[in-house]
Amino acid sequence: MSSEVNVNSGGMYGTSPRKPLTALLLSVCPGLGQHYAGHLKRGILFYITLIVASWLAAIAFMSIQSKLSIIFLCVPFVGVGLIALDAWACARRQPRDYRLQWFNRPWIYAVVFTALLFTVNPLLDFLVGQKVVRAFFMNSISMSPTILDSDIVLVNKLAFPKRGEIALIKFGKSKPSAKLTELIDDQLIKRIIAIPGDTLEIRNDVVWVNGQKIDDPYAHFKGVLRFNSAQRSSFGPKLIPSGSYFVMGDNRNESIDSRILGFIREDQIGGTATKVFWSWNFDEGGIRWERTAKSLK
């Protein structure tokens, strides 16, 4: 009879040696290798620690204005590797007649893996993604050259954007008009140009706020105008109402923004875009390494 069910020699659940390679492979779900190796609490602690450390690393990466912040991107991968090695070591230290515990059952491993995959992980992603940091995939050139098509941008949801900073705009089901429903996504990335109480005017593509021509080094006019040019090159003067903001894309010719959409409500602003996390050049089939960890201004 297999040692897995040898009740007489190993107690209620039998005995079985712990295989280091199995513990290593089970660590594809961090902590499950320790679970298999007989260290249930250790596995749970490592899993929670990895989740917390990964999100703290994401916040640090997003907040530090230096290319050196890229080291924080390594935290999840290094953490998973160390946890896997620890599981391997835990399994090696167990005796060949390791007495199986109540949690050493294949079906329990499957339940734990499934529960983490479909409940805990999505819940943490939802809570942190809604309140702390969110990745946004750019699929237009409306913010180029500051943000390129296919950039993955990190949005700091803890920071409300100031004048001149880049904001995540959330429309959801409340898009400005049926005409624009198919032209814009539920979420956009634009720059805050004017805030409540400002008076804004655009004259021949030059932006004036409170009677002063703004320093506008990010403005570019590349591509074909998608709407009436007069509507884009001239606007106002208009007073920005309380609780509203005027936003524009850096690539003025290709941007559907407040010149077309109107003012953006405060509750539609979902955070400040601070950094390029990753960038892929689909035309050339390669990674734009020079844009990784690039701070956005």
| Alpha helices per DSSP H over 153-293 | 229-233, 258-261
Token pair in block for residue 277: 């996390």
Which SS3 state, helix, strand or coil, does residue 130 take?
Answer: helix
- Please tell me the distance from the alpha carbon of residue 293 to that of residue 220, in angstroms, as a whole number: 23
Which SS3 state, helix, strand or coil, does residue 23 take?
Answer: helix
Alpha carbon 293 to chain centroid, angstroms: 13
| Catalytic position from the list 142, 150, 244, 255 | 142
Q: What are phi and psi of 267, to 5 degrees?
A: -75, -5
Please name the residues in contact with 246: beta carbons below 8 A apart, sequence gap of 6 or more: 192, 193, 194, 198, 200, 240, 258, 263, 264
Closest CA to 208 of 228, 189, 234, 231: 234
- Please tell me the distance from the alpha carbon of residue 233 to that of residue 227, in angstroms, as a whole number: 11
b vs e for 59-78, b when ≥16 Cβ sit within 10 Å of the residue's Cβ?
A: bebbbbeeeebeebeebbee
Whether 190 is a known active-site residue: answer: yes
| 224, 296, 180, 198: CA torsion to nearest 10 | -100
| Cα–Cα separations (whole angstroms), residue 98 to 11, 13, 93 | 10, 10, 10
Whether 27 is a known active-site residue: answer: no
| Catalytic position from the list 140, 144, 190, 275 | 190
Please give the positions annotated as active site: 142, 190
